[in-house]
């Protein structure tokens, strides 16, 4: 009862508001949810999940693969526009951790059932120690835990950072160089198949680094992100 009363008091003083339109009532209102730019599975690349890549993908074709790491197979829920960016920023940088449940539920709906039956566990791209100190939580861990709950799999920290810098201010080539060899997966022994979760696919370098770390431990991975640039 005290917890219920405290929640009621907090909701009265600081009502839950939509991350996009600021209307009170929910973290993401129905109108804004319907207006998001969802990636169409039937138009997306079947390999890397890039929007509009079903016939000719400009993200993972043979020429592109020579110049950047390839993270595949991968699926994403939204195109990374201003609305998706606002949701991610509110979740990661404004302390609204409850949005992780909303994002995870949306991600779970785009994952093929065959992936869920294939996987043994869910893992995630760990945030840098600096990012965890700045935000007060590991956004990837919370998101992966919520996603794992949605799909009925355990969430296990299999990968760890090995000194990579924050990616947000880096360009494509810088991201690839920053990530190369920057992850290790010492706890992946005993796992053969996992789903790795992240919030945003930008160049794919981070996810490719995670895949490489897992592959070195003979663990195959499939990738799911909330949004894709």
Using the Cα atoms of residue 59, residue 46, residue 127 and residue 132 in order, give the sign of their dihedral: positive
Identify whether the C-beta of residue 90 lies closer than 8 Å to the C-beta of residue 19.
yes
Query: Measured between alpha carbons, how far is 180 from 164 in angstroms, rounded to an integer?
Result: 9
Residues near 34 by Cβ (< 8 Å), separated by ≥ 6?
A: none
Return the closest-CA partner of residue 121 out of 139, 148, 140.
148
Is the residue at 56 inside a domain?
yes
Range of the domain at 65: 16-228
What backbone torsions phi and psi does residue 157 show, to the nearest 5 degrees? -80, 100
Q: Is the pLDDT of residue 12 over 80?
A: no
Q: Residue 185: pLDDT above 50?
A: yes
What CATH number should be reported for the domain holding residue 171? 3.40.50
Question: Is 208 a member of any domain?
Answer: yes
Is 176 inside a domain boundary? yes
Whether 6 is in a domain gets the answer no
The answer to whether position 217 is within a domain reads: yes
pLDDT band at 70 (very low <50, low <70, confident <90, very high): confident
> Across residues 123-134, what is the average pLDDT?
92
Average pLDDT over every residue of 50-66? 82
Question: Could you give the number of structural domains in the chain?
Answer: 1
Asked, for residue 128, whether it belongs to a domain, the answer is yes
pLDDT for 182:
86
| The most confident of 136-150, 177-191, 197-211, by mean pLDDT | 136-150
Q: DSSP string spanning 94-105?
A: S--TTHHHHHHH
In a domain, 220, yes or no: yes
Tell me, what's the pLDDT at 71? 83
Rounded Cα–Cα distance for residues 133 and 116 (Å)? 32
Helix (H/G/I), strand (E/B), else coil: 165: coil
Question: Is the Cα torsion angle 138, 148, 109, 42 positive or negative in sign?
Answer: positive
Peptide bond into 28 cis (omega under 30): no
For residue 1, what pLDDT band results from cuts at 50, 70 and 90? very low
**Do the Cβ atoms of 196 and 123 come closer than 8 Å?**
yes
The share of the chain scoring above pLDDT 90, in percent, equals 68
Q: Write down the pLDDT at residue 33.
A: 97
Model confidence pLDDT, tens digit, residues 158-174: 999 876 555 555 555 55
Residue 176: pLDDT over 70: no
Any idea what the Cα angle at residue 205 is, between residues 182 and 152, rounded to 5°? Answer: 90
Q: Tell me what pLDDT residue 62 has.
A: 74
| 121 domain residue, yes or no | yes
């Amino acid at each position: 009862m005290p917890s219920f009363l405290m929640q009621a008091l907090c909701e009265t003083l600081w009502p839950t508001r939509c991350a996009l339109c600021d209307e009170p009532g929910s973290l993401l209102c129905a109108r804004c949810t319907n207006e998001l730019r969802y990636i169409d599975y039937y138009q997306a690349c079947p390999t890397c999940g890039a929007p509009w890549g079903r016939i000719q993908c400009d993200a993972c074709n043979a020429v592109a693969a020579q110049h950047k790491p390839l993270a595949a197979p991968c699926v994403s829920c939204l195109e990374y526009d201003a609305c998706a960016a606002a949701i991610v920023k509110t979740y990661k940088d404004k302390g609204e951790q409850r949005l992780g449940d909303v994002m995870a539920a949306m991600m779970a709906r785009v994952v093929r059932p065959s992936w869920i039956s294939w996987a043994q566990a869910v893992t995630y791209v760990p945030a840098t120690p600096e990012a965890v100190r700045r935000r007060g939580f590991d956004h990837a861990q919370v998101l992966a835990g919520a996603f794992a709950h949605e799909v009925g799999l355990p969430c296990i920290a299999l990968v760890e950072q090995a000194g990579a810098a924050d990616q947000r201010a880096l360009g494509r080539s810088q991201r690839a160089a920053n990530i190369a060899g920057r992850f290790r997966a010492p706890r992946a022994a005993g796992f053969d198949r996992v789903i790795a979760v992240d919030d945003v696919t930008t160049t794919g370098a981070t996810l490719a680094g995670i895949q490489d770390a897992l592959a070195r431990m003979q663990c195959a991975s499939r990738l799911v992100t909330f949004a894709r640039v």
